[in-house]
Amino acid sequence: MKKILQNPLALTGLCLIIVILALALLAPWLAPYDPDAIHVKQILLAPSTQHWMGTDGLGRDVWSRMLYGGRVSLLVGLVAVGISTLTGVVLGALAGYYRGWVDTFIMRLVDIMLSIPSFFLILAVIAFLSPSITNVMIVIGLTSWMGITRLVRAEFLSITQREFVMASTALGAQDWRVIFKHCLPNSLTPVIVSVVLGIASAVLLESGLSFLGLGVQAPQASWGNILTDGKEYIQFAWWLSLYPGLAILITVLGYNLLGEGLRDVFDPRSNNAR
Amino acid sequence: MMKDSEILLFAKNKKLPMVQRHFLILFLSSLLGACGSENPEQKTSLLNAPYPTQTGGTLMGAMPSDPSSLIFMVAGESASSAITANLFNSLLTYDQNLDLAGELAESWQVSPDQKTLTFHLKPGLVWADGHPLTSEDVFFTWQAIIDEKTRSPYASDYQLVTKAETPDKLTFVVHYDEAFSPSLDSWAGLQILPKHKLAGQDLHTTSFAQKPLGSHYYQLKEWRHGEYIKLEKNPKSVLGPANIDHLVERIIPDPGAQFLELMADNIDSLSMDPITYARIIPSRPELQAWLNQYESLGNSYTYLGFNLKRQPFKDIRIRKAINLAIDKQEIIDGVYLGLGEQIASPYKPGTRWSNPELKPYPFDPQQARSLLAEAGYKDSDGDGILEKDGKKLSFEVLTNHGNKEREKTAVIIQRRLKEVGIEIRIRTIEWASFITRFIKTGDFDAVVLGWQLGLEPDQFGIWHSSQQKPGQFNFIGYNNPKVDQLLERGRREFDPDKRMHIYHQFAEVLYEDSPIVYLSAGYNLTAIHKRVRGIMDPVPPAGVGYDSQKWYLPMPLRRTQIQAE
């Protein structure tokens, strides 16, 4: 932990994320207006003391919508990555521990999944199901676990050869005990980095989908669909595009910085070098 | 910097610097030209000065896509009609007050049994190539549109003709099995094609579709696909020559890019959305200085339509409650920035077909709540949504993806209905799958859509109970014998006053039944450069483009033509 705080990259990332998370979590208390309240007499007002980030095409307060939209974007990011991590770790552990045909089967599955451009896969699946926040989370989760599977499998391949694992197997420990008590805890370090980076790309994916109208549906706000609304008025209502754009940028940057920082911290080679 | 390079070039070649300097001057003047080379006041007074009518000049416009064909009965798309309306004439047309008038026809008669129409063509009509235009051409065009091979989406009205005759070169007679009053409108819509160019050809593959020959004010000069279509004045026009020499329609798919071109003064007229019209232009005085803005009520309306074959919409109280719970003025203000009108009958307000007695449903959430309570809905679990027999009053509203105005309308409706305890989910779907997957199969709860109407009051296709098959227009499943009967009567009646009475009654029954919620009729919004003169002001009911052959471009205001040496 101390090392993390000493790493400037990780620290900056962490600060950005904490700020964004805090704003999103405190949205109900921070938002000055109901994010869905329509005021047709106050359409597209420029930022002012009353509306810090102006109002949108239906007279809704953009600052309030940004706060609530942040909740959606971050929730989607976290849940999607939760799903992909769980899937990835379980499959990677199975492949790395049992090897043989289990390994072959899982790794070919990974290859197949990786060979399909994931954004188009997501678009296709969402078009089949109806677009909704739950579907978006599940679909993003189920199309981004492959990297983690590979990482975990690789770790398992080397860890299962180590003495303490062999000892435990020799003592007659059951498979699940060896996997969960010995192998997993020792292979999670690279996974953590990958998870943090994964959140960044999930937030970006969600924004992209919402931008295309396939993500979070009206009236619920998300950064992506605020940005879509802004596209229409970009010539004169810059605030509708700038703020959600910035929010996405800062969040993604935050997670990426933290991820990179963590990688430096965890990587023994870079530690020695310093 | 410039000087250095000049010296450098000078050393190499004596002639070059001159060229270089010319380039620089050209470049600078084009830069200055963009910001207004004359002093602005002088320019404004030039723009606002009166000028006599004169001929010549080029009018630049923009359209979103290339037409697929310049034979409208085959293409059937607005991109095609935007061009062909300048090339071809019809037998009849509508005057500025939207009453029928003759175009190629000098006069027309309805027989006493109302089953025969006789058109008398004006004498001496010619095509742009000098070939005479006769009733043979009209007959040929009628045959072409009813031909199975033409597969025209507009064939149905013409297929009702049982027999057509051309007793002489100036007379065209059509017989119907029974009286069919919308037929007159159909003859105002059929663009007459030249037989001598098209006889024996396949309308889908003929080169005529790319290089047409017409009889109207203009003829095609040049068509660069995906770039522009240039029309040239037809000196032999059957209605007399137009004032402006050339019309150029540039193909610019994106409305944002179209507007940028207008701002750069590369196009003269543009129709636009309410935000651009009422927010962007007024916020830029420099634009307002050289643009005239025109608004006129369009012939279309947006509505919330219920699937009447599904619950809970079979219950008239639910339909009325939803109608009362929606604030239409809020939608007009919020979505169209006030540039629209509430309507109470499915016709353009102010026309003879619109029933002036009917007033739009008021916004009355209190009455809506009591109607819902009367229908047996109450909020028993306290979640804010009403229930009946354990079933929530909740439904899905579909609209087509990419139509921002409809999407916004749906969001406003969602908000208002929530206040009376009705939950709606909005789903936007790409147009093609919206039609095939949901509308044609009838698999929807409610839709936010619009009807673009013709000038003919007959709405048999939309409201008659026989028109509910997949692909037909009564997809909401409206079925009312009274309306069926009125629509049938309206189709047999030629007398405009009697027809008016029928369609007023029809609108009244619809009003009582509330099968759809009329949301708004929007304005057509156009901005035109002040150099374009002769535009009818105030805008007649037929719209700003009416009589555009009388528009003219005063010489001092014309765009400077850069000629290659």
pLDDT at B40: 67
Spell out which residues of chain B touch residue A226, defining contact as CB-CB under 8 Å.
none
| Whole-Å CA distances, A95 to A106, A173, A187, B279 | 6, 19, 14, 61
Half-sphere exposure for A128 (CA within 13 Å, toward CB): 6
Helix H or strand E segment including B62: strand B58-63
Q: Are the Cβ atoms of B426 and A58 closer than 8 angstroms? A: no
Question: What are the chain A neighbours of B330 within 8 Å (beta carbons)?
Answer: 38, 40
Cβ-nearest to A40 among B279, B283, B330: B330
The CA distance from B329 to the nearest CA of chain A, in Å, is 10
Q: Do B408 and A217 touch (CB under 8 A)?
A: no
pLDDT digits over A184-216, tens only? 888 888 899 999 999 999 999 988 888 887 888
The interface pTM score, or ipTM, of the predicted complex is: 0.77
Interface test with B, best of A42, A130, A235, A241 (most B CBs within 10 A): A235
Determine the residue of chain B that is closest to A211 in CA distance.
B402
Q: Taking the C-alpha atoms of B548, B550, B554 and B557 in order, what is their torsion angle to the nearest 10 degrees?
A: -10
What's at B356, amino acid-wise?
Answer: P
Distance (Å) from the alpha carbon of B276 to chain A's nearest alpha carbon: 9
Dist. CA B193–CA B87, nearest whole Å? 10
pLDDT computed for residue A270 by the predictor: 59
To the nearest whole angstrom, how far is the Cα of B415 from the nearest Cα of chain A? 8
Q: Which residue of A has its CA nearest to B329?
A: A40
Q: Which of B459, B489, B232 is nearest to B353 (CA)?
A: B459
Domain boundaries, chain A: 73-257
**pLDDT truncated to tens, each residue of chain B (565 aa)?**
333 333 333 333 333 344 444 444 444 444 444 444 456 677 778 888 899 999 999 999 999 989 989 999 888 888 899 999 999 999 999 998 888 999 999 999 999 999 999 999 999 999 999 999 999 999 999 999 999 888 888 888 899 999 999 999 999 999 999 999 999 999 999 999 999 999 988 998 999 999 999 999 999 999 999 999 999 999 999 999 999 999 999 999 888 889 989 999 999 999 998 888 998 898 888 888 999 999 999 889 999 999 999 988 999 999 999 999 999 999 999 999 999 999 999 999 888 899 999 999 999 999 999 999 999 998 888 888 999 988 899 999 999 887 888 999 999 999 999 999 999 999 888 888 888 889 889 999 999 999 988 889 999 989 999 999 888 889 999 999 999 999 999 999 998 899 999 999 999 999 999 999 999 999 999 999 999 999 998 888 888 988 899 999 998 898 876 544 4
Closest by Cβ to B334, choosing from A40, A131, A213: A40
Determine the Cα–Cα distance for residues A88 and A141; give it in Å rounded to an integer. Answer: 10
How many CB atoms lie under 10 A from the CB of residue B348?
Answer: 21
User: What residues pair up with B410 in beta bridges, in sequence order?
Assistant: none
pTM, two decimal places: 0.80
Q: Where are any strands of DSSP class E within B122-176?
A: 161-168, 171-176
Average pLDDT, chain A: 88
Q: Do B333 and A40 touch (CB under 8 A)?
A: yes
β-strands B394-400, B446-452 pairing:
parallel
Q: In chain A, which residues have their Cβ closer than 8 Å to the Cβ of B410?
A: 218
What homologous superfamily is domain B300-522 in, according to CATH?
Dipeptide-binding Protein; Domain 3 (3.10.105.10)
B438 vs B397: CA distance, rounded Å: 11
**How many whole angstroms separate alpha carbon B144 and alpha carbon B203?**
8
Minimal Cα distance from B403: which residue of A? A232
d(CA B478, CA B498): 25
Please name the helix (run of DSSP H) or strand (run of DSSP E) that holds residue B527, with its range, or none. Answer: strand B516-529
With 0-12 CB in 10 A as exposed, 13-18 as middle and 19+ as buried, what is B32? exposed
What are the tokens at B556?
């001092």
Token pair in block for residue B454:
């013709």
What is the β-pairing status of strands B171-176 and B116-121? antiparallel
Task: Count the Cβ atoms, other than its own, within 10 Å of residue A264.
Answer: 20
Q: Are A51 and A215 in contact (CB under 8 A)?
A: no
Instruction: Tell me how far apart the alpha carbons of residues A257 and A197 are, in angstroms, rounded to a whole number.
Output: 9
Lowest mean pLDDT among A65-74, A124-133, B203-212, B442-451: A124-133
Q: Count of CB atoms within 10 A of residue B555's CB? A: 11
SS3 of residue A273 by DSSP: helix
Cβ neighbours around A249 below 10 Å, total: 11
Q: Which residue of B has its CA nearest to A42?
A: B334
- Contacts A233 to B, Cβ<8 Å: 275
pLDDT digits (tens, 9 = 90+) for A153-179: 999 999 988 899 889 888 888 888 888
User: What CATH architecture applies to the domain A73-257?
Assistant: Orthogonal Bundle (1.10)
pLDDT at site A212: 82
In chain B, which residue's Cα lies nearest the Cα of A40?
Answer: B334
Which chain B residues have any C-beta within 8 angstroms of a chain A C-beta? 256, 259, 275, 279-280, 283, 330, 333-334, 337, 401, 404, 407-408, 410-412, 414-415, 425-428
Residue B385 DSSP symbol? S
Q: Structure tokens of B531?
A: 């150099």
Query: Which of B273, B339, B428, B430 is the best mutation test for A, with the most CBs of A within 10 A?
Result: B428
The residue among B258, B261, B332, B415 with the most chain A CBs within 10 A of its CB, best to mutate, is B415
Question: Is B427 in Cβ contact with A217 (below 8 Å)?
Answer: yes
The ranges assigned to domains in chain B are: 1-36, 88-206, 300-522
Residue (of A253, A255, A231, A251) closest to A242 by Cα position: A231
Cα-based distances in Å from A223 to A135, A152, B184: 17, 33, 54
Contacts of B427 in chain A (CB under 8 A): 130-131, 217
Q: Which residues does A contribute to its contact with B (CB < 8 Å)?
A: 36-38, 40-41, 43-44, 57-59, 130-131, 213, 217-219, 232-236
What CATH homologous superfamily does B88-206 map to? Answer: Dipeptide-binding Protein; Domain 1 (3.90.76.10)
